[in-house]
A and B are shown apart, each in its own frame.
Chain A
């Protein structure tokens, strides 16, 4: 195994173009586990640790440009207001040690359906900034996940950053695991309200071959909220509408039975999380509620 240590982003792109099989490594929280267990023997390992740009972020007017290697702990600490859903999701990632190392770029690169960042990115709306020596492109998050642990990157591309829309409304993230901390998702759910466009977006993790949005549920809820003038009158979402939204979210799942949980449970739990996160975000939108999270 050859170990590549590019000193700059340009060098990294050149190395990736020369060695398309090179596996980028940043925090190492996924890659090192695979290597240690001999599940993976990349021909080239490319350390991105020397590229400082990757651990920086910029808050723009409409979106946050989040460097691929910004650790989850920094997101929790510094971007809670701008990216509340992602900050909540970040707090559920593994342990403090892992949160100090791992970042969203790794979640996206691995593209596991269980990655904690995915539902929050789907719900908020995001674009992945992918770059190669051929140029830069932005991949909409909805088009990024192409299969189980597969993504839309070309072999010569690297993830440089993620552009996430700044929250203009409440966001929530919920994840079920059989333990109260440091647990891989049995299933997860993200929800974001976008009052500017009068839309809601969802993200579901670990309940289908890839992270997905529950588009039918979103469309139903968008229509229901619009019809009743809810965005303006701030009324409580009716239980029947919340239930139908939850049922449609559950129906969007295509889960499997595995050692972490049954398919039936995953469908059921996604429905419960959808209903609850809708209540939390909508109550918050109405100004009737504030909730806090335990300290890190």
Chain B
């Protein structure tokens, strides 16, 4: 292990400075730390108005009437719009299923649903005017769980569904259902020496990005609109926005503005259409910024889930079968629920060899807050359950939990329960071995000659223990996450690369629509351009819709897919440059025709290192430009009855060892250390890799012990929409996170890289839970685990 978290091996180097494999610094890093970075909420336009959304105060109701008169009459108000004011017949949107109303029509289906929008010359005026809109609701019974959703007399959350899932779901209040059947689980169960069952609950986590939803829509003279926006996928937004506005897509010009975190929460639209509608209606620029309270209602959350698992194993520690059922609560609108179901079902086994499976995953429609994409996307919930099961089975067999996992670990060549072979390295056992081999943090670190240092203890500065009741526990977990969009989705990206000489120096310009949400994509694009084109200076153009789609900054895919597109475009540019070189200089040196030629250090060189000429002399006044789409290998849909199919592109693996100290009397937890080992294929930027792993690990810690959106089961209303009561880990809650990075190349991927952003979020949570179980001896079948669960006072 490298103590500083740097990768232990580098499989590929670069001979141009600042290229692939180097820890070049992010351009946004210092600005963000010093508070100078311009976020989307910082934008300003002369003469702009402020938009405000009026949201439902109840979760499920008919709208009897809306009276906007008083709001409209408020001085300073320029427009008030409701459903009736929408300009076209397209009045809904959605990522996959267009079931989400731009503004509520006759009915609201969840707490905080947009009902009306206001534009005014001051944000306070807009807010106060919105409060003057009188909405009369006739409340309806709320659907909050599987029982109420599928009851014979259940109200349908969406009547007259015509989406492509309605044909195969058992009830119209189920968005999508995916079984995965392979082998014969019943026969395999008969061979098992032990059968272990568990019922688990995974709470609703919020992305809790620090930069709230915000954007600025500027009406243009051509009747179109320019939208400056913090989002995850510009072209997906565009596809949903333009039809509602009644504009062709080329009249809705989108530019990415400073994004303050995303984690999946910006995949769905928030204020985009509302700002554009108000801008077009008033003819003035309109800015909308959610405050923290509104942000909790303004984006989808991680699906809460109930998971029933049954594993069998033989005495010698081999898993025989898995039967499991995963019920995800998708809330009022579909969002990404179908794809989350696909992940939860196809990854329900975890990174283990289990040949006989009977898996079912489904997502409900309910009146709870809509849930959709969040880092880990269905795989997180499953990992929490199967890892708890692994510990339970190991205990039942009297085996060491890591040894039991090793015996059942998948490897390259293993068939997934979908029948798909894992065709790149799957070092599951090795990752576990590595985290287990790391040195343990010292015991009783709070002790000093001057007494107890409470910062090192559960409760921290709150001074609840000086060592009393504190017990250490250790737990392990490992997970598997798919990389990229799956199930037959055309998951491409586009890159435009230009090369020219400026002031005698060759310069590359990279233009993509990739949303930089803090993952470090712009840094990596520059590194790729340097490596492929041998230049030092790379300009990254702002992401906008003047270039083709880059796909979503989601699913750990951007370095793979848009990185792949940039690499591909660079290679095409290089070919063109060399073509020009051959034309100009081919006759002077035979190597132009015979050798493998590279661009390095601003020169054309042979693979033997001989310099042929300066790039500046090749290009002179010419500019070479390529815009090209790039695709990873295609995937297939899962069979709707059996779940069989080559649904995924690539997998990502991480393992954690958690060391916790629990105040067993007060139920408070201090996570002392969360060691992680992850295979990244190839670390394009080692520093960013470690940052991603530490961030993902911490987000997993959050849902283990504190983060949860609490929804009242009687009213379906959110009870804690604030950072006072939705707790995120502070730096004092964040343990040391030693990282061991493995680089086993995936030969199908650019540079052999593996998407890395999500895997650490999977195994972190179950590792912490396992450590708390180890410390307390409690079963703990839900997450987050709160003090009352550890003290019998729930």
Contacts and interface: CB of A to CB of B under 8 A. Distances in A.
A262 B724 CA distance: 17
A186 B729 CA distance: 17
Contact of B787 (A37, A180, A184, A261): A261
A155 B665 CA distance: 44
B462 A177 contact: yes
Most chain B Cβ neighbours within 10 Å, of A172, A260, A294: A294
A291 B729 contact: no
Contacts of B44: none
A265 B667 contact: yes
B461 A174 contact: no
B727 interface: yes
Contacts of A176: 459, 462, 464, 666, 668, 787
A159 B451 CA distance: 37
B710 A290 contact: no
A279 B452 CA distance: 14
B720 interface: yes
A294 B667 contact: no
A174 B719 contact: no
B463 A173 contact: yes
Nearest to A114: B724
Interface string B378-412: 00000000000000000000000000000000000
Nearest to A182: B730
A154 interface: no
Contacts of B706: 178-179
Which residue among B458, B462, B468 has the maximum number of chain A CB atoms within 10 Å of its CB?
A: B462
A183 B727 contact: yes
Interface string A274-286: 0010011000000
Contact of A181 (B465, B665, B730, B793): B730
B464 A183 contact: no
Taking residues whose C-beta sits less than 8 angstroms from the other chain, chain B's interface range is: 35 or more
Contact of A36 (B291, B455, B787): B291
Contacts of B787: 176, 178, 186, 261, 265, 269
Given A176-B666, A180-B733, A181-B460, A37 B293 contact: yes
Contacts of A293: 454, 461, 463
Contacts of A172: 463
A175 B463 contact: yes
Contacts of A175: 462-464
B794 A262 contact: yes
A33 B727 CA distance: 17
A273 B466 CA distance: 11
A165 B729 CA distance: 37
A237 interface: no
A88 B464 CA distance: 11
B630 to A, nearest CB: 44
A292 B710 contact: no
Contacts of A177: 462
B780 to A, nearest CB: 15
A180 B730 CA distance: 8
B792 to A, nearest CB: 8
Interface in A167-226: 172-184, 186
B732 A88 contact: no
Nearest to A92: B462
Contact of A259 (B293, B450, B665, B720): B720
Interface in A61-95: 88, 91-92
A294 B455 contact: yes
Contacts of B732: 180-181
A38 interface: yes
Contact of A291 (B451, B455, B462, B727): B451
A175, A179, A259, A294 interface centre (most CB from chain B within 10 Å)? A179
Contacts of A265: 667, 787-788, 791, 793-794
Given A38-B127, A265-B791, A290-B450, A184 B665 contact: no
Contact of A88 (B131, B453, B463, B720): B463
A269 B469 CA distance: 13
Contacts of B463: 88, 91-92, 172-175, 293
Contacts, number: 122
A107 to B, nearest CB: 16
Nearest to A172: B463
B327 to A, nearest CB: 24
A36 B724 CA distance: 15
Contacts of A264: 788, 793-794
A180 B666 contact: no
B791 A178 contact: no
B786 interface: yes
Contacts of A291: 451-452, 466
B462 A180 contact: yes
Given A37-B291, A291-B451, A91 B665 contact: no
A174 B463 CA distance: 5
Q: Which of B127, B469, B793 has the most CB of A within 10 A?
A: B793
B287 interface: no
Contacts of A259: 710, 719-720, 725
B85 to A, nearest CB: 25
Contacts of B667: 265
A243 interface: no
A272 interface: yes
Contacts of A273: 464, 666
A181 B670 CA distance: 11
Interface in B744-794: 786-788, 791, 793-794
Contacts of B460: 179-181, 294
A188 to B, nearest CB: 8
Given A38-B127, A179-B727, A292 B464 contact: no
B127 A174 contact: no
A261 B462 contact: no
A19 interface: no
A269 B127 CA distance: 41
Contacts of A37: 291, 293
Nearest to A175: B462
Contacts of A38: 127-128, 131
Contacts of A173: 463
Contacts of A181: 460-462, 730-733
A207 to B, nearest CB: 13
Interface string B647-672: 00000000000000000011110100
A88 B787 CA distance: 22
A292 B447 CA distance: 10
Interface centre among A88, A176, A279, A289 (most CB of B within 10 A): A176
A269 B293 contact: no
A268 interface: yes
A259 to B, nearest CB: 5
Which of B128, B454, B469, B719 lies at the interface centre, i.e. has the most chain A CB atoms within 10 A of its CB? B454
A291 B453 CA distance: 8
A260 B725 contact: yes
A262 B450 CA distance: 35
Contact of B729 (A92, A179, A262, A272): A179
Contacts of A182: 730
Nearest to B463: A174
Contacts of B794: 262, 264-265
Given A176-B459, A179-B730, A265-B794, 15 more contacts: A37-B293, A92-B462, A175-B464, A180-B670, A180-B730, A181-B461, A181-B462, A184-B724, A261-B787, A269-B791, A272-B464, A289-B451, A294-B455, A294-B456, A294-B460
29 contacts: A92-B461, A172-B463, A174-B462, A176-B787, A177-B462, A178-B668, A178-B705, A178-B786, A182-B730, A183-B462, A184-B724, A259-B720, A260-B725, A261-B786, A262-B793, A264-B788, A264-B794, A265-B667, A265-B787, A265-B793, A269-B791, A273-B464, A273-B666, A279-B468, A292-B451, A293-B463, A294-B455, A294-B460, A294-B461
Q: Which 9 pairs show the lowest CB-CB distances between chains A and B?
A: A180-B460, A294-B455, A291-B451, A265-B793, A264-B793, A181-B732, A265-B788, A175-B462, A292-B451
